[in-house]
A and B are shown apart, each in its own frame.
Chain A
Amino acid sequence: MKKLMNILLLSCLKATELMEKKLHIEISFKEKIQLKMHTTMCGACKKYEQQNILLDKLLKNKNSNKLNIKIEEFKSEIKSKINK
Chain B
Amino acid sequence: MQNAETDINQWVNDYTEELLRRASYKINNHEDAKDIVQETFLAAAKSLDKFQGKSSPKTWLFSILNNKIIDYYRKNSKKPKTSDIDTVSFFFDNDGGWNAPQKPNNWEIQDNEQHLLDNYEVIEVLNYCIENLPEKFNTVIKSKYYTKKKTEEICQELGISATNIWQIMHRAKLRLRGCIEQNWFVKVNK
Q: Which residues of B contact A13 (CB under 8 A)?
A: 88, 91-92, 96-97
Answer yes or no: B176 CB below 8 A from chain A CBs: yes
Q: Determine whether the beta carbon of A24 is less than 8 Å from that of B173.
A: no
Q: Which residues of B contact A54 (CB under 8 A)?
A: 107, 109, 113, 116-117
Stretch from B9-17, B50-58, B68-76, B77-85 forming part of the interface with A = B9-17
Query: What total of chain A residues lie within 8 Å of the partner, measured CB to CB?
Result: 41
* Interface size bracket, B side: 35 or more
Q: Which residues of B contact A59 (CB under 8 A)?
A: 126, 141, 145
A/B interface sample: 18 pairs, CB < 8 A: A11-B96, A12-B97, A16-B170, A44-B98, A44-B103, A45-B98, A47-B106, A50-B109, A51-B104, A59-B145, A62-B123, A70-B120, A70-B123, A75-B12, A78-B16, A81-B38, A82-B41, A83-B9
Q: Which B residues have a C-beta under 8 Å from some C-beta of A?
A: 5, 8-9, 12-13, 16-17, 20, 34, 37-38, 41-42, 45, 88, 91-92, 95-98, 103-107, 109, 113, 116-117, 120-124, 126-127, 141, 145-146, 151, 166-167, 169-170, 173-174, 176-177, 180-181
